[in-house]
Structure 1
Amino acid sequence: MATTDDGGGAARTTADREVVISREIDAPRELVFEAFTQVRHLSRWWGPEGFTTTTRSFAFRVGGAWDFVMHGPDGTDYQEWITWREIVPPERIELLHGESRDDPNSFESALTFEAAGERTRIIMRTLFPTKELRDEAVEKYHAIEAGEQTLNNLAAYVAELARPGITPDGAAPKGVEG
């Protein structure tokens, strides 16, 4: 297993069928966890740079699903489906991610949220069914860079939420300018 650190606090490790990406985020663990559990938050930061997300349905509970489309900056739409397998607030989320509920190439992800004072270390561990699917995700879809960009988007989003005067829906309260 190889480990690298890009100097910006994001470390990544890769193994035969696995991609592991981590990042320290300047926000409390409960807030970072919340950003993963509510669609109003996810839709604002999910995906790599330049991508947007449209949710078709969302049920954050064990056995529930998030059915969504990621829109690439080149206009390509990516059908996505996540089923939540384990939820331990505010410590851990396990999920199955594919293009649809019955996607034979779905991969498993486990996200851990570690408190580090007022900061949070998030670790996203993704396990693919085969080495070939992992290699395809890394080479064709740039999974490592995309994962790092996604966690960077999360960090920027929760930093905004954590600013004084910002409400949980991301808006400044009436009479307060952001």
Structure 2
Amino acid sequence: MAEKQAAEPTELVIVRELRAPRELVFEAFTNPEHLAQWWGPEGFEIVVVRKDIRPGGIFHYKQRSPEGDEMWCKLAYDEIEPPERIVFTNGFSDEEGRTARAPFHASWPLEIRNAITFAERDGLTTLTMRGAPVNPTEEELKTFREGLEMVREGFSATFQRLDDYLAKA
């Protein structure tokens, strides 16, 4: 009998427990004023250009590093089911919000579709995020797989910022 090898991962999965009720966590994701306070890498300033957080809407922003480097990004919302689920596609963009290549890798997938669910138990919220490239080429899929740990670390730091933000809310 032939031995089967495990398929390479094509999806990012992150599970995080947050010390806040589900409604508050959901609001932190869907209220643009809250989202701008914790979203993104530690130390980066977020400048929001468009904040239309609803199905069919866009959250378009610029991230500025402490060194002054800038990256334009956007989240395009597909589904918002309060307070249980959010589905959005994220990617890099130009200043006008048009999809653009990632500044750090020429073959990074243009778009990543993310589904986030929120479950509450005893006043704590378990956030589960699943993300995968949208219609990637083979090269983009390979780059995504190679970058999974970098993305996992980035979201872990972002969700730590969220947990810290919620503690003050």
Residue 90 of structure 1 deviates from its aligned partner by: 0.3
Structure 1 Cα separation of the partners of residues 110 and 40 of structure 2 = 19
Identity of aligned residues (%): 38
Structure 2 alignment gaps of length 5 or more: 1-7, 101-108
SS in 1 for 2:13: strand
SS in 1 for 2:131: strand
1:127 aligns with 2:132: yes
1:116 aligns with 2:126: no
Structure 1 Cα separation of the partners of residues 131 and 67 of structure 2 = 26
Structure 1 alignment gaps of length 5 or more: 1-14, 162-178
SS in 2 for 1:43: helix
Structure 1 Cα separation of the partners of residues 128 and 89 of structure 2 = 16
Q: Summarize the alignment of residues 7-86 of structure 1 with structure 2, pairs less than 5 Å apart.
A: 16-86=9-79
Give the aligned CA root-mean-square deviation in angstroms. 1.7
Higher RCO, 1 vs 2 (CA within 8 Å, ≥6 residues apart): 2
The count of corresponding residues between Structure 1 and Structure 2 is 145
TM-score, with length taken from structure 2: 0.79
Please give the per-residue CA displacement for 1:63-89, whole angstroms capped at 9, x wherever unaligned: 000110111233221110110000100
Please give the per-residue CA displacement for 1:75-134, whole angstroms capped at 9, x wherever unaligned: 221110110000100000000111134447111011111111211001111112342241
Instruction: Supply the AA of the counterpart residue of 2:85.
Output: R
